[in-house]
Structures are given as structure tokens and as C-alpha cells.
């Protein structure tokens, strides 16, 4: 099964992708995690991505598209994967369509996590205190929410037209949200 978890920063996509992995053995592919690892290791990719990430801007499409194209062809993705934080722009979504067509696979569902802005800010500030992510500061959080509205929200209609969009309200306990995800994807 191939899934996309779509939603603003702090919507719980990563947490739910990890639960999905434990339950169904379907790998989580988080472009944010891959980029953070590259920044941590100081690779060329990391050096290229860091300034965008710290400001809460998107890393250029060509960079993240290249990452995804490679990653989804690795053997552990054969059984399926959850894309967490990709695509984030229409250009990325179109590139993904091309990659999937080439590989002869399809997206089954796009799960859209809806969470009110006030709740997102509260969660992200909480995560900043716990995990110390350098982009979980008030300035970057504000920018990331705006970037989501400008660049990523248009994907909702993009996938609605393809009839694979499922909505869930991403509030409540982690288990409650996991049950909602299970209900809409049927797994």
C-alpha cells in the first residue's frame, strides 16, 4: 500500500507514520528526517538544505524530488510506503506522479490531517522544548505555517480531483487518531 500523509507541520503525520510502520510494516519516508540527518552529518545535501530549513522555507523541489526518486526504489519499499512531508508543492506532486508511473505503482490514499492553527503552534512549541529542533522557534513556525498555506494546501484539490483524498481531524489522543487513519485507509 502506498500512502501520502498530508498536513501542516505539527499535524502528527510523523507520529502516525511510525504507528503505521509498527502495525502494518509499511516504511515511513520522511523528507524532513532525511534532510535533518544530512544536516547532522554535514554532507553536501545537508549544507545545501540547512539555511532553508532553519528559516522554515522549503528546500528546492529538484533536491527533494531526487531524494524521493532514489528512496522509493529501495528494497524495503516493495511492500509499500508512507510519504510523510512529501509532496509539499504541486511541482513535487507532478514529479511524484511521473516517478510512480515509471515504476508501475499507484498511490492508494492521501490522508489529509486537519488541525487548527492554535493547536499546531502549541504542539510545535512543545516539541521545541522536548526535541530542540532548530526550526521549532516562533519565527520559523510562523513561516512554516504560511508556507503550508501558500504552497502545500493546493495539493488538497489536486488529490481531491484524483479521488484519493481522505480527510481526518487530527485532534484527540494518538490512539484515537491512529484509529481514524486506519478507518479511512482500511488497514
Indicate the residue whose CB is closest to ligand AMP.
32
- Measured at the CA of 59, the angle between CA 84 and CA 158, to 5 degrees, comes to 55
Q: Which stretch binds ligand AMP (CB under 6 A): 21-29, 80-88, 109-117, 158-166?
A: 80-88
The verdict on 59 binding ligand AMP (CB under 6 A) reads yes
Q: Determine the 3-state secondary structure of 173 from DSSP.
A: coil
The verdict on 88 binding ligand AMP (CB under 6 A) reads yes
The verdict on 58 binding ligand AMP (CB under 6 A) reads yes
Q: Which position among 36, 144, 151, 180 bears the catalytic label? A: 144
Q: How far is the CB of 172 from ligand AMP (least distance, A)?
A: 21
- Measured at the CA of 184, the angle between CA 187 and CA 154, to 5 degrees, comes to 125
Q: Which stretch binds ligand AMP (CB under 6 A): 39-47, 82-90, 157-165, 173-181?
A: 82-90
Question: What's the burial of 55, exposed, middle or buried (CB within 10 Å: 0-12/13-18/19+)?
Answer: middle
Alpha carbons 57 and 72: distance in angstroms, whole number: 24
Question: Within the chain, what is the greatest distance between any pair of CA atoms?
Answer: 43
Q: Determine the 3-state secondary structure of 10 from DSSP.
A: coil
Nearer Cβ to ligand AMP (43/183): 43
Q: Which residues bind ligand AMP (CB under 6 A)?
A: 9, 31-32, 35, 52-53, 56-59, 64, 85-86, 88, 92, 135, 144
Please give the positions annotated as active site: 13, 88, 127, 133, 144
Amino acid at each position: 500500500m502506498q500512502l501520502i500523509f498530508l498536513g501542516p507541520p505539527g499535524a502528527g503525520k510523523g507520529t502516525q507514520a511510525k504507528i503505521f510502520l509498527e502495525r502494518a510494516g509499511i516504511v515511513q519516508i520522511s523528507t524532513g528526517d532525511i534532510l535533518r540527518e544530512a544536516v547532522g552529518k554535514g554532507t553536501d545535501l545537508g549544507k545545501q538544505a540547512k539555511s532553508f530549513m532553519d528559516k522554515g522555507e522549503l528546500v528546492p523541489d529538484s533536491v527533494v524530488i531526487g531524494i524521493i526518486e532514489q528512496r522509493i526504489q529501495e528494497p524495503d519499499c516493495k511492500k509499500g510506503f508512507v510519504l510523510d512531508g512529501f509532496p509539499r508543492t504541486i511541482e513535487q506532486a507532478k514529479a511524484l506522479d511521473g516517478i510512480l508511473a515509471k515504476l508501475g505503482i499507484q498511490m492508494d490514499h492521501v490522508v489529509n490531517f486537519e488541525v487548527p492553527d492554535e493547536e499546531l503552534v502549541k504542539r510545535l512549541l512543545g516539541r521545541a522544548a522536548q526535541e530542540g529542533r532548530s526550526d521549532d522557534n516562533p519565527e520559523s513556525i510562523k513561516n512554516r505555517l504560511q508556507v503550508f498555506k501558500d504552497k502545500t494546501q493546493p495539493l488538497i484539490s489536486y488529490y481531491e480531483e484524483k479521488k484519493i483524498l481522505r480527510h481526518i481531524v487530527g485532534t484527540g489522543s494518538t490512539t484515537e487518531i491512529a484509529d481514524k487513519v486506519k478507518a479511512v485507509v482500511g488497514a
